[in-house]
Chains A and B, each alone.
Chain A
Amino acid sequence: MLQISNCKIGYSQTILLQNVNLRIQKKDFCLLTGANGTGKSSFAKTILGVNLPLTGTIENSFSRMAYVPQKSVLDEQYPLTLRALIKGAVKNNIFNFKKKSEALVDEVLDKTSLKNAQHLIIREASGGQLQRALIARALLCNPDFILLDEPFSNLDRDGRSNIVEVLHQLNGLKNVTIFIIDHVTALPFENLRTFLIEKKKIDEL
């Protein structure tokens, strides 16, 4: 469970959100929507523990949080194949990288239909392939909570339905909590909890 109480979110000089109170349960399927510059990404970073709230408290009992960033976050000059990008998320060093990890990478590549594109490097991959690779990377961490930042923005209809299917499975079969940040106000999921950021506040619709 993630309990956000009386939080003020932003940076030292700029307050983006105030009086944020939210409770996200295990297996919830959430959508956070709002206009550009309203603080969606800052809120995401605060949930993930990357930024601290200016005031208030966050209680988090999710132990394996995963993040699917926007495609533009990645630096395309790194010579990384999609496979290497996915594998890179597992905490390893040269002494303990195991064959088991390779098998897990194969499994998530299968799930996201990326097997044929695994050897493309970041700058060669299409927006959809890269988006799926980022989702595959999140899956590799065996998460109990996934935060996706505009996951459908680069996808065609097939890619979109592929990701919707994967998220359905994760939420339904593996009880993973899904938190999507997007500009859209509706997504094809049942029991979707929708939150709107407006006037420095988050309200559930």
Chain B
Amino acid sequence: MNSDFTFYLSRYSFEILASLPYFAGVSLFGLFLILRRSSLFGVVLSQSAQLSFLIGAALHFQTHSGAFDLINRTSSRNLSVELFHLDLYVLPISVLFLLPFLYLSRKSLKNAESTLLVLFVILAGSMPLVHKILGGNDSTLLKVYFSEILYTPPDMFLFYLPHIFLSCVLLFIFYPGILLSGYDPIQARLSGYSVSRYNYLYYFLTLIILSSSIKVLGIYVSIAAMLAPAMAALSFTRSMRSTIILTISFSLFLAIGGFATAFIFDNYPAEPIIILVITLGSFIVRFTVISISKFKNIQSRLG
């Protein structure tokens, strides 16, 4: 067992370590999505980013097989150059998708949530169809949804790391405006922030983060890492700083836990196991914290 684990670590240490910034980045942006009550928007955004990737890949490679070489991680060409050229297609398509979502996610719009849910079904439901039309098969479809983190080429990890890093840096630079625009837009305007610009900036950065992370982590691992750790952290933090630190810490801790659990159940695919560890781990933390605080409340009432 020990020697197996040592082999697992030595074989996949780069992939595990290189994936951690993706988990951290995506959870940081997820925290703001939850605070802005836009989790559903984030999920829809991830579907649109994934669909943009499929369409962008097909347009870029001109041939179906090229796109699926990339999804299958079997592309023998210079991957960084391919990915750079691919992004020239994917990002504009993603932004094109983003614009109607921004309009539809406005809280003032009637039934905004239901509209987003219908959009989610359209995007998620059309994914297999688009995939099939582009010449994919059932096995590659699974890779579209779940990726294969441990078999992702190192070039791909390294190519998207600056995207993650830059998005996080920009989030911190514009943090006060993004935060204030979220919880009190009128005060934000009076304080001199352009609320719509800050909202667009935040959603654009979220799109960049998501469209990078889904290629490495897969769509469902990205969604799990985006929402679950922040949900757990928000149960007991008392400041934004501690919430940010705890969200990232939970995300990293649970991701590492996911990889370790995937090693134990090595007959099963790693990604669903990672998703389960992240989401169930977050639920356990949240449930424990809520139970303890309820118990304390009852105790203080009795005492």
B-side contacts of A79, CB under 8 Å: 234, 237-240, 242-243
Contacts of A78 in B (CB 8 A): 35, 182-183, 240
Is chain A's interface secondary structure helix, strand, loop, or mixed overall?
A: loop
Q: Which A residues contact B (CB, under 8 angstroms)?
A: 45, 48-50, 65-67, 69, 73-75, 77-81, 84, 88-95, 119, 121, 137, 141
B186–A50 CB distance below 8 A: yes
Residues of A within 8 A of B187 (CB): 67, 69, 88-89, 137
Q: Which of B186, B238, B240 contacts A48 (CB 8 A)?
A: B186
Please measure, in the bound complex, the distance between the C-alpha atom of A88 and the C-alpha atom of B182, giving whole angstroms: 12
Closest to A69 in B: B186
Q: Does B193 contact A (CB under 8 A)?
A: yes
Chain B, residues 219-251, CB within 8 Å of chain A (1/0): the string is 000000000000000100111101100000000
- Give the residues in chain B near A73, CB-CB below 8 Å: 184, 186
- Asked if A66 and B190 sit within 8 Å, CB to CB, the answer is yes
Task: For the complex, give the distance between the alpha carbons of A190 and B174 in Å.
Answer: 44
* Alpha-carbon separation in the docked complex, A65 to B193 (Å): 14
| A93–B193 alpha-carbon span in the complex (Å) | 11
4 closest pairs, A vs B, by CB? A91-B192, A75-B183, A79-B237, A91-B191
Are A84 and B191 within 8 A (Cβ)?
no
Q: List 20 A-B contacts (CB under 8 A).
A: A48-B189, A69-B184, A73-B186, A77-B37, A78-B35, A78-B183, A79-B242, A79-B243, A84-B239, A88-B179, A88-B184, A91-B192, A91-B193, A92-B176, A93-B174, A93-B175, A95-B173, A119-B238, A137-B187, A141-B190
Report B's interface with A, CB cutoff 8 A.
35, 37, 172-177, 179-180, 182-184, 186-187, 189-193, 234, 237-240, 242-243
Known: A77-B234, A80-B183. A94 touches B173 (CB 8 A): yes
Decide: B190 and A67 in contact? CB cutoff 8 A.
yes
The smallest beta-carbon distance between A100 and chain B, in angstroms, is 16
Task: Find out whether the CB atom of B191 lies under 8 angstroms from the CB atom of A90.
Answer: yes
Contact, CB under 8 Å: B172 / A94: yes
Minimum Cβ distance to chain A for residue B206 (Å): 18
CA A148 to CA B182, docked complex, whole Å: 21
Contacts of B192 in A (CB 8 A): 91
- For A68, the closest partner residue in chain B by CB is B187
Please give, as numbers and ranges, the residues of chain A lying within 8 Å of B173 by CB-CB distance.
93-95
Chain B contacts for A45, CB-based, 8 A: 186
A74/B172 contact (C-beta < 8 A), A84-B240, A121-B238 known: no
Question: Given that A75-B183, A78-B183 are contacting pairs, would A65 and B190 also be in contact in the complex, using a CB cutoff of 8 Å?
Answer: yes
